[in-house]
Structure 1
Amino acid sequence: MKFKEEFVAAGRNKYVEVLKADLVITGGGLSGVCAAITAARKGSKVVLVQDRPVLGGNASSEIRLWILGATSHMGNNNRWSREGGVVDELLVENTYRNPEGNPVILDMILLDKVAQEPNITLLLNTMVYEVEKDGPDHISALKAFCSQNSIEYQLQAPLFCDASGDGIVGFLAGAAFRMGAESKEEFGELMAPGAVYGELLGHSLYFYSKDVGKPVKFIPPSFAMDVTKEIPRFRNFNAKEFGCKLWWVEHGGRMDTVHDSEKIKWDLWKIVYGVWDYIKNSGNFPEADTMTLEWVGAIPGKRESRRFEGDYMLTQQDLVEQRKHEDAVAYGGWSIDLHPADGVFGENNACDQWHSKGVFQIPYRCLYSRNIKNLFLAGRIISVSHVAFGATRVMATSAYVGEAVGMAAVLCRQFELNPAALLQEKKIDTLQRELIKIGHYIPHIKQADPLDLMQQASINASSVWEFNGFDAIDVQWKPLFIAAAQLLPIPSGRCPSFKITVKATRNTTLVVELRKSSRIGNFTPDMLLTSQTFDLNEGEQLLELTFDLTLVDPTYVFLVFKDNPNILLPYTEQRATGLVAVFNGVNKAVSNYGKQIPPLNMGVDTFEFWCPARRPEGQNILLSVSKGLHIFDPRFLINGVDRPTVRSNAWVADPTDPNPSIEIVWNKKQRISKLVLFFDTDFDHPMESVLMTHPERVMPFCVRAYKILDDKGNTIYEKQDNFQTINAILFDGSVETEKLIVSMAHPSNNVPAALFGIRCYAQR
């Protein structure tokens, strides 16, 4: 292609391209990506605008922060709390394809997922810089410019979503927003901070190091900071930590985290190169002699800037009290995690983290602007107070909010409504139901889908595991250095008794407690039901644990063995859906020191932490039950809850069943076009996306191989090497049958086959 143009005295105009869509999303971080995929899969045309060359935002290879949410590194009491739906799909995919935590591979996976959606038009390296309005409270178009192709885009749509992190669309549109902390008086938040924590959370910039096996010299740049003189906690630096383990290298909390962002970046560069100079050249780290600086971030990870006002502002009380909202569409579970404004330059703790006893709901009213009628909010800019923001800002929570917004935009298009009108026209039930259908769990919300043919079918299982206790598989004996508990779902009625063999290294005493949560659906064992004390002789002995107790409602109980280093408990490698051992241990990474004891007048609860151990640890305590527990009912497959809550909510086959299967029978032939299966990919495992590695690519509870048969015994679908939570099976044309059989293989000899849910839809 050749061009030759003469001089144009008036200058030239930019090349302009007009794109029309149902929804324009600004911001390609996790929240924007999940919103876009959710909306696109339901048929909406989406333009996703990202000002960076890669997707993922703070999770991308440009910044390299791990994706976390309610699971909090498995360091809190939020059992089975990993976010569902699209963000779950992304994390499970990343764990399967990238267990080493390579951030470049995560970039690839996110790009691949978006590229697979024909309804998404992706604009990378494209910055939104202007908002066009056709009224004071209504956006008509955005203007954006791509630095790589010199094209100006005019993006037109009836609905817009700001997932940009700094809220550029909301800001330019004139929407009400806030920066910094509210006073205690405004919302009655006892944690509303003062001068030290009362500004903004700052930026962090990471680096990666690499051992090359030979001496490497480092000559610092002229701007490198002498961290021994300027950073009070410089002794915390070491040669082994890199990447987002250095999250506490934070700066900018007393600056304008939007307009001073480049200044903050330069200060962070000074710190990072000064840190590496200290590690390489101080002489205090001989192990760093053969290490080189492999990568330094070019843009910082930003925590906080603008928060926009919706029809409701989530506050500390919503989180700590776990308040219920009729319009709940998402949840969070990260601690209220506030950082001192001085960051790495201050003397204070790098953060103060205060946990709730369980997950908290996020209402729909927080996810749209109260001023701009057609503007959704997603990610960290949603309508929350500064204190509540400390918990809602993390990426998996932000992504979950994005999913809710994506689905809400679909319904707004379907019903020709603006975001607030979806609530006013009483469409929240529909929104919740559509979200639940894609695996988007909402605490305390359970809805049956009237289009689901499973609601009209009878369900027969080849077997059901009547739980009489665990099998002795590869038994290990472990001392009770810290208190341990087996978490078990117990039906209502008389509490069973248990038997366990223990070993004592000398004559001693063992205290056994039975606890449960005081709040339905929580996994904080703050209610002592009863206890027993056993006098043990040195050696091995069988104990019978009998509790004179009747449970009014089904619930998870904690069979607690109090710490005593002179006692050893047996652990088995048999693992199963909805059953896990937990420990009253410590996880300093999330301010878990075994027990949370806040200062007075903080508005935060005191309670103990009981958390699982990561695999390959985390075996179950080898015990037996006096009578078989019916805790894995096939009827759970249609109860609309696809993870453990007060029940296992799963069907689990008998481990001895050679051919576990579920038979679905109707009283007349059905024309079936879609079958959806919900497998167990261990919602307890946080699946950190980068830096941290994982012991397996596929969760041990996940059914890998299955097939679908019709009423004539014909195999109409077969799957090998499954690793995903949700399998949506679309049949060519449709299948006409009175019966379907889902035949599965056990995941392994140690783990029986399990399913959380089945949904079935007719041709429409």
Structure 2
Amino acid sequence: MKRRDFFKKGTKAAVAAGVVPMIFTSCANTKDIIYDKPNDKWYHLGTGKTGMPNRKPVVTYDVAVIGGGAAGICAAVASARNGSKTVLVQDRPVLGGNASSEIRVHLNGVNDIKGKAERETGIIEEILLHNRFENEQESYPVFDYVLYDFVVREPNLDLMLNTQAVEAVMEGDVIKSALCWQATTEKMFTINASIFIDCSGDGLLAATAGAIYRTGREGKTEFNETFAPDQPDGWQMGATLLMSSKDMGRPMKYSPPSYAIKYTHEGAHPRRHFKWFKDGIWWIEVGSNDDIIADAEVNRHKLMGYLHGVWDYIKNSGNFPEAENLALDWVGSLPGRRESRRFIGDYIVSERDMTEHKHFEDCIAFGGWSLDEHNPGGIENISEPPSYFHYHFKEVYQFPFRSLYSKNIANLMFAGRNVSQTHIALSSSRIMATCALQGQAVGTAATICNKRNVLPRQVAQKHINELQEQLMRDDAFIPKRPARDPKDLARKASLLFASSTSSGDVNNLINGMSRDIDGTINHWKSNGLPAEIQLEWETPILLAAIELKCDTNLARNIMMRKDSRNDELFGNSVPKEMLKTLSFEARINGKWQKLGNIEENRTRLITLKFDAIKVTAVRVKMAATYGAKNVKLFEVRCYA
């Protein structure tokens, strides 16, 4: 019997994952201990009634997103904003995945291309800007709540925390429902949806649906990869457990716990250094050449032992006098995983696609973190370097949509480290900001599926231009692909001019490129403030929205960092270049009328919507930035 036919034939598989209880069924007994609880003697003193309330809710959505890391958040928000009723299912009590307070990994992206690549925009940048406004103290636990606020404020999006999708209910090659266990409420939700997006990393839902996937490393010959091993094997990049310490201003003692694994650094490779050890050591890592998911709890215990063994070495070996006043103030208990399942789509991205900068007609995202092959044995192989190589890119590479949906499950997409790619390709694209771009792409594609009544493969074949145009309208960047939305009325303006210009050209605002890239200027910058731009049409147009893309200094990274860096590469405040205060006017029947104003803008993409009116001109008056003397814009759009 095929795996995807299990539920059609009335049989449930046993599932054990994290805090999810076992579900037992057999041919002789169709009841299960979770649903029916025949021995539960609950007596409600308030009502005098006995018997359990309904713990088997059934809910229906247009789109169900599984996994609340960077990819899942961006997928769910994109889906909801573009019109699909969406649910985001997260198996932890907080959002953020590896970037959450539970793990605390920096949310990196193309910032590894130093001095050339401009960072990611779209929803992931909006999240990071939101954090700069709401979390000036740069607290990881507060960052959890910033993410929570960012999700729950979306009116078309529901959030389920502490909930894991444990089983797919199939109808042929289509996922009909996801069974989701919510540990805090003892509920087994049945979530019905037209489109499912698995951004959970490990991909349990996709696996139970029967989606084809692979694990381990491809050999050199399969994809002609320079950095792959000679022969394929089962090794998967390891998980890391992090910690942080605090200077207490006086000598602090440390005694390792009973489970600590003694560490001496004897025979360790020179590249296993202790630089920045105060905020954690990434090479306290354990990989697997077998089932890295099944081994997760064994590896977690090992990692806790290795972490305390290394800290004991730092504190008590005498080799680190600078650690005398340091004490652990946070130790992770949830390892950050880098790799497990990789689901197969219509295209498998490989090393050469990245290093040779292959152009994809269905490009929907980009990356640029170095190819970074970790030591398979991790800390258990200390004589070898922790990372074998870094292949540094000089420009960003493209990522295709065909690698973000399942080859054999018709209504399943994915984003994150579990997408269709080789092990070597994953060594770069696993970085969270890159995963976030993939998430926004599949969330947007899901709404096209529902709008057009098609499946993801049909989006790739027939509606890819629509997907790309919507992504760029929503401030995602697609390399080598200018926007050319036929609905954008700004492109049809007979005249566009500005009150002043210090660099660029006001006509750049309608050239389809919303950033300076590859040495080409695509902006207009004022000469002082206040400043304004104006668009004219020869005949009246029906107008209902004006959209701008302003400057947030994409050359400077604004991610959460443990070390709170504030220099030319990293910023820990609101970008001073961002437009803060502006107003909008339209010429209606020959007279200028005010459309609206924004006093404290907080995003790069600025949108003003209003009741549709006929206009012959609009102007945008810009009064202030968050500190810069001039205002810079990259795009203006107008829509009916």
TM range (shorter): 0.7 to 0.9
Please, what TM-score do these two structures have when normalized by structure 2?
0.86
SS of residue matched to 2:584: strand
Please, what TM-score do these two structures have when normalized by structure 1?
0.73
Q: Could you tell me which residue of structure 1 aligns to residue 35 of structure 2?
A: none
Distance 1:198 1:316, change over 3 A: farther
Aligned partner of 1:133 among 166, 170, 174: 170
Q: 1:76 touches 1:355 (CA, 8 Å); kept in 2?
A: no
**Take 2:406 and 2:606, find their aligned partners in 1: how far apart are those partners?**
35
Question: Structure 1 residue 742: deviation in Å?
Answer: 1.0
Q: 1:231 touches 1:344 (CA, 8 Å); kept in 2?
A: no
Q: Could you tell me which residue of structure 2 aligns to residue 79 of structure 1?
A: 117
Aligned partner of 2:585 among 676, 699, 709: 709
2:427 is the counterpart of 1:390: yes
Q: Could you tell me which residue of structure 2 aligns to residue 254 of structure 1?
A: 289
**Take 2:231 and 2:265, find their aligned partners in 1: how far apart are those partners?**
24
Distance 1:231 1:94, change over 3 A: farther
One-letter code aligned to 1:665? E
Q: Could you tell me which residue of structure 2 aligns to residue 653 of structure 1?
A: 526
2:363 is the counterpart of 1:363: no
Q: Could you tell me which residue of structure 1 aligns to residue 19 of structure 2?
A: none
Question: Structure 1 residue 222: deviation in Å?
Answer: 0.8
Distance 1:289 1:688, change over 3 A: same
SS of residue matched to 1:246: coil
Q: Deviations over 1:646-705 (max 9, x none)?
A: 4211111234xx532101112233443211110011112222223142345222322222
Question: Structure 1 residue 331: deviation in Å?
Answer: 1.0
**Take 1:460 and 1:637, find their aligned partners in 2: how far apart are those partners?**
10
Q: Could you tell me which residue of structure 2 aligns to residue 519 of structure 1?
A: none
**Take 2:423 and 2:451, find their aligned partners in 1: how far apart are those partners?**
34
2:608 is the counterpart of 1:725: no
**Take 1:401 and 1:394, find their aligned partners in 2: how far apart are those partners?**
11
Give the 5 Å matches for 1:331-342.
331-342=366-377
One-letter code aligned to 2:413? F
2:637 is the counterpart of 1:759: yes
Distance 1:148 1:3, change over 3 A: farther
Runs of 4+ in 1 over 4 A off after TM superposition: 3-8, 194-198, 233-240, 748-751
Q: 1:197 touches 1:339 (CA, 8 Å); kept in 2?
A: no
Q: Deviations over 1:447-491 (max 9, x none)?
A: 3222222122121111222x5xxxxxxxxxxxxxxxxxxxxxxxx
Aligned partner of 1:54 among 79, 94, 97: 94
SS of residue matched to 2:106: coil
One-letter code aligned to 1:34? C
In structure 2, list runs of 5 or more residues that go unmatched: 1-43
Distance 1:462 1:7, change over 3 A: closer
Give aligned pairs, total: 585
Distance 1:188 1:671, change over 3 A: same
Q: Could you tell me which residue of structure 2 aligns to residue 639 of structure 1?
A: 511
**Take 1:194 and 1:449, find their aligned partners in 2: how far apart are those partners?**
47
Q: 1:192 touches 1:198 (CA, 8 Å); kept in 2?
A: no
**Take 1:692 and 1:91, find their aligned partners in 2: how far apart are those partners?**
16
Higher strand share: 1
SS of residue matched to 1:158: strand
2:338 is the counterpart of 1:303: yes
Q: 2:272 touches 2:283 (CA, 8 Å); kept in 1?
A: no
**Take 1:735 and 1:59, find their aligned partners in 2: how far apart are those partners?**
44
One-letter code aligned to 2:595? I
One-letter code aligned to 1:160? F
In structure 1, list runs of 5 or more residues that go unmatched: 468-631
Distance 1:133 1:334, change over 3 A: same
Q: 2:550 touches 2:579 (CA, 8 Å); kept in 1?
A: yes
Question: Structure 1 residue 348: deviation in Å?
Answer: 2.1
Distance 1:43 1:235, change over 3 A: closer
Distance 1:4 1:698, change over 3 A: closer
Q: Deviations over 1:37-72 (max 9, x none)?
A: 000001101111110000010010000001011122
Q: Could you tell me which residue of structure 2 aligns to residue 675 of structure 1?
A: 546
Distance 1:698 1:169, change over 3 A: same
When the two chains are superposed, the root-mean-square deviation of aligned CA atoms in Å is 2.4
SS of residue matched to 2:407: coil
Deviates more, 1:192-201 or 1:58-67: 192-201
Distance 1:345 1:669, change over 3 A: same
Aligned partner of 1:414 among 447, 451, 460: 451
Aligned partner of 1:26 among 40, 53, 66: 66
Question: Rg bigger for which structure?
Answer: 1
Q: 1:699 touches 1:723 (CA, 8 Å); kept in 2?
A: no
Distance 1:255 1:269, change over 3 A: farther
One-letter code aligned to 2:114? N
Give the 5 Å matches for 1:457-536.
457=493, 458-465=495-502
Q: 2:583 touches 2:621 (CA, 8 Å); kept in 1?
A: yes
One-letter code aligned to 1:644? D
Percent identity between the two aligned chains: 37
SS of residue matched to 2:436: helix
Distance 1:372 1:456, change over 3 A: same
Question: Structure 1 residue 706: deviation in Å?
Answer: 1.9
Distance 1:308 1:231, change over 3 A: farther
Distance 1:678 1:26, change over 3 A: same
